Amino acid sequence: MPAEPAPDIDVFLSGLLFFDLVFTGLEHPPAPGTEVWTGGMGSGPGGIANFAVALSRLGLRTSLAAAFGTDVYGRYCWDVLSRQEHIDLSRSRRFPEWHSPVTVSLAYAGDRAMVTHGHAPPVPVAELAGSPPPSRATVAHLGLDTADWVHTAHQAGSLVFADVGWDPSEAWSPALLEQLACCHAFLPNEIEAMRYTRTETPEAALSTLAELVPIAVITRGGEGALAVDGTTGETASVPALPVEVLDATGAGDVFGAGFVAATLTGWPLAERLRFACLTASLSVQHFGGALAAPSWHEIAQWHARNRRPEYGFLDEVLPSETVAGIRRGPVTLGFGDDSWR
């Protein structure tokens, strides 16, 4: 029998998209009754867009199913993702009179705190995803009722990479971990991992997760990342790269995109973690999440400057000639003009 044709899409994603407004340069969070001035601000698509943009900038054919408002925030996000970042939005939909979710991110002390306003999308994410298109990988955000489309993607042979978000109830129901049955990899941060597994250390959490999913990865911010790959028997722990953090918004998503790309490339586990840490480290030196994601041009520049021996594997994939850099979106959304249209 002839071999199945390769899918036209490398990675399919579906999830909630936000308009992010980021303030940087804060020395401390504002106290009630006070006003704090910041050293910088930026804006751009956020939420699932962080993952999508980071994947696309790494050269992966990326398709996103998400809800967009027709307000100024939604129009801006649609334009940036489709025109600038070349993400397929054929499965996304625009909804008149639906206010786009907005997140304000306050960056200080090497981390960030967020305030979000939003309403549920007019249709469930599962309806937008529908029957997922064939893809090499799928990115999903886990919930207690993870949608059928994720299971469908898994059954079709797509590698499912899953993450979770902060649980506002702080119940951290262990039942959520039952959703890992259809996943290839799970990439929580250390707080999420310990809370869901009821463990006291990242190492103990990793051991528990390794029994539930083929590849378990725990991100630790400035401490790096650790992982177990049950498909190869590998374990690895790598440190974060020393950088000056401007804004950590979306860094976990950019890390995840780097790990997906490295997995599809077929690198050993330690190199997959190092590459993911590199993409995240480059992103935190810019404003925002999605629009801070690095391109191969920026990765090549970093590699040429540093030539760290543990990153020698990059020589296999970096172009022999300098490639053009990506055009970053505007630092702030221009409400007073139509330049972004």
Q: What's the pLDDT at 298?
A: 93
Per residue of the chain (341 residues), give pLDDT as tens: 444 566 789 999 998 899 998 888 888 888 899 988 888 888 899 999 999 999 999 999 999 999 999 999 999 999 999 999 999 999 999 999 899 999 998 887 767 788 899 888 888 888 888 889 999 999 998 876 667 889 899 999 999 999 988 787 888 888 889 889 999 999 999 999 999 999 999 999 999 999 999 999 999 988 999 999 999 999 999 999 998 887 778 889 999 999 999 999 999 999 999 999 999 999 988 877 788 999 999 999 999 999 999 999 999 888 665 444 544 444 444 433 343 33
Q: What's the pLDDT at 107?
A: 80
Q: What's the pLDDT at 131?
A: 85
Q: How far apart are CA 246 and CA 184, in angstroms?
A: 32
Q: Are strands 93-95 and 102-108 parallel, antiparallel or unpaired?
A: unpaired
Q: What's the pLDDT at 146?
A: 67
Q: How far apart are CA 230 and CA 42, in angstroms?
A: 40
Q: What's the pLDDT at 7?
A: 76
Contact 328, 291 (CB under 8 A): yes
| 248 Cβ contact list (under 8 Å, min separation 6) | 107, 110, 111, 112, 221, 284
What b/e string do you get for 289-326 counting C-beta neighbours within 10 Å, with b at 16 or more?
Answer: bbbbbbbbbbbbebbeeeeeeebebbeebbeeeeeeeb
| 256 Cβ contact list (under 8 Å, min separation 6) | 51, 54, 139, 161, 163, 187, 276
Q: What's the pLDDT at 6?
A: 66
pTM over the 0.85 mark: yes
The two tokens of residue 1 are 């029998």
Q: What's the pLDDT at 144?
A: 63
